[in-house]
Every structure is written in C-alpha cells, then in structure tokens.
Amino acid sequence: MGINLEAFFEHTKNSALEQFHPQLRQALHQHYEQKTHGRSLEWDTALNAMPQLDKAPFTFTQDSVTISKPDDLQLDHSAYKQHLKAFMPWRKGPWNLLGVEIDTEWHSDWKWQRIACHISALEGRQVLDIGSGNGYFLYRMLGAGARLALGIDPTRIFLYQFHAAQRLLPPNGAHLLPLRSEHLPAFGSFDTVFCLGVLYHRRSPIDHIQELMSYLRPGGELVLETLVVPGDIDTIFVPPKRYAKMSNVWFLPSTQALENILHKLGLEDIRTVDVTQTTTQEQRATDWMTFHSLADFLDPSDPNLSAEGHPAPLRATIIANKPF
Ligand SMILES: C[S@@+](CC[C@H](N)C(=O)[O-])C[C@H]1O[C@@H](n2cnc3c(N)ncnc32)[C@H](O)[C@@H]1O
C-alpha cells in the first residue's frame, strides 16, 4: 500500500519546484515505491486504523507538537495509543497527538530552542530539512512562519510517524519525502536549508556541504548542526572504529575546522552560534524508545568520554550564507 505523497506535488504545482517534479517522481519510484519494508503491512494497518481529521486544534509553537482531540470525536484512547506504539521507536519529539503524550528519546525541543533564536526569521520562507527524521522540526518551522517545510529522510518508519500527525491536520506546508539528499536535484531556490545531525554520518562531508549549498537560493541561509570535537583549525577526528557505539560516524571536526571548510567552499558570514554537550536528560530511553540510549554510549565512570574513550558527544550549530 504505502503512503500517498501526492500532497507535496499538489502544493508545489505552479511554483519554482514544479520543474523538478519529474526527477523527484523518478527518485521516489526507484528508492521508495520499488522497495518494500518488512514492517510495511503492520505500519499500514496501524495508520489506517487511526482517525483522519481536518479540524483538530493544533499548536506548533510549544515544545510539544500538539494536535488536540476535537470535542466531538469519540476516541478509544488506549487503542489509539497502541496504534501509535506500532511506530516505535519514536526518537524525535515530543508530540501530543489527540491527548497521547509521546515522550521521545530526544528532547528535540531543546535543540530547536538552541537554534531558533539564531536563524533568520522563517516567516514566509520556503525551507528544506535534510535528514528530517519524523518531521518534528518541520512543524516547528511552520510554527515559526515557514510557508513550505520540506523534509527529506530515507528511513521509512519516520515517514509513518510523520503521517500519524499529518492525517490529523488539514492540508498544510509540511511535507516529507523518503529520499536521500543524494537523490535531490540542485534546487537553487530554498531560502533556508537545515541539516541537523547528518554531516557526521556522511563519508564525503565536503561533498555533502556542496550538495546543501546547491539547494539554496543565492543569499539563502545554511543551518548546519553536527557533532564536533574540541580542537583548533587543524583538528578533524575520524573515529577508527565506533563512536559512542555508532558504527556510521565518519567525520568529527572542531568548530574552527568546520568553519574553515565552509569558508573554503565560498560560504559567507559564517558563525558558530551554539556548542552544547549532549546530556542524558536530552537523549534517553523512554517508554516510546526502549533501546539503549546515550547513558549506554558513554564511559560509565566518566560522562565526558564516549564508551570508546573519545570525547563525549558535543554538538555545534553553524550558520552561514550562500553568496549572491
Ligand atoms: C541523527 S538523525 C537526525 C534527525 C534530526 N535532523 C535531528 O537533528 O534530530 C539523522 C537522520 O538523517 C537521516 N539520513 C541519513 N543519511 C541521510 C541522507 N543521505 N539524506 C537524508 N537523510 C539522511 C537518517 O535517516 C536520520 O533520520
């Protein structure tokens, strides 16, 4: 069955994005429609059992993305909660859907608070979120006034989590396409491109930053959040094996080294606006994500070290502009 992604194409008809529809449809065909997932049937069943609404009250401006139960909706709260649990693990949030509080692994609201005060106002902007996970930030971007918030993330379960929320809402500016950034055309038109928590997963980080630049319009803003290590302009750490038990971490620069790369790539007005060590309050196991979490990825005797003895996860947000 799968999820119908036509709303994105409808919304962007007659816009600058329409010229890219054939390429996006082709990528979706190849990387989404032609690939099945072992849990798709379970997820389709849970999704289709959920109410579909268009007049539920919602707010995207508070910590929790909240869509409230309309007074006239008869809802079996515990059955609805079980349907939502079919999409575990819930990593990014928090959410409150029809009165069910989803306490996600991450306090993504904390990340948003650290970032939102430094970026250009999103009012009326068209924004792209690469590695958007389940779309939590897409709604926060709409809450901040964005007119279109397009998320790109290949992980299928996150698409289902996003649609658990979308099906409660009237047509809106948030869309999630289950693709990888490598599948995207050089749009050249987004006002802001967010790339939060993805760069360290890329084997070719400089190529990835160039991809991100290609999505921006001249003068547009790049918001890059990634793991960094302490050090100077010459410090880039490539973990020899795992990092904080993750096997797919390739590139951990210092903030100075990352700023230097952005400068060399031609970005302007480069500034590191936040550096924060992740705490076990921000990332932890919950009832909605019951696997290991940060506490298990650190040295049990020193929270400033990863389990492998490397510096513990430290995240920086760097903002820069594409030249006109
Ligand atoms: C650590 S999570 C970060 C999620 C969210 N942006 C945040 O900051 O909380 C990384 C996400 O990037 C996605 N991802 C990994 N490689 C990607 C790629 N090449 N293009 C788009 N998304 C990618 C993963 O599926 C995952 O959801």
Residues having CB within 6 Å of any atom of ligand 1: 92, 106, 108, 130-133, 152-155, 158, 180-182, 196-198, 201
pLDDT given for residue 36 in this prediction: 86
Rounded average pLDDT over 14-32: 97
| Token couple for 64 | 């929790």
Give residue limits of the domains in the chain.
39-321
Q: Does domain 39-321 have CATH number 3.90.1150.10?
A: no
pLDDT given for residue 103 in this prediction: 98
Q: Going by CA atoms, what residue is nearest to atom 24 of ligand 1? A: 131
Per-residue pLDDT tens digits for 216-240: 999 999 999 999 999 999 999 999 9
Q: How far is the CA of 167 from the centre of ligand 1 (A)?
A: 23
Rounded average pLDDT over 283-312: 98
Per-residue pLDDT tens digits for 143-176: 999 999 999 999 999 999 999 999 999 999 999 9
Kindly tell me if the per-residue pLDDT of 77 is higher than 80. yes
Kindly tell me if the per-residue pLDDT of 1 is higher than 70. no
* Confidence tier at 2 by pLDDT (50, 70, 90): confident
Per-residue pLDDT tens digits for 167-214: 999 999 999 999 999 999 999 999 999 999 999 999 999 999 999 999
Ligand 1 mutation pick, 28, 106, 153, max ligand atoms within 8 A of CB: 153
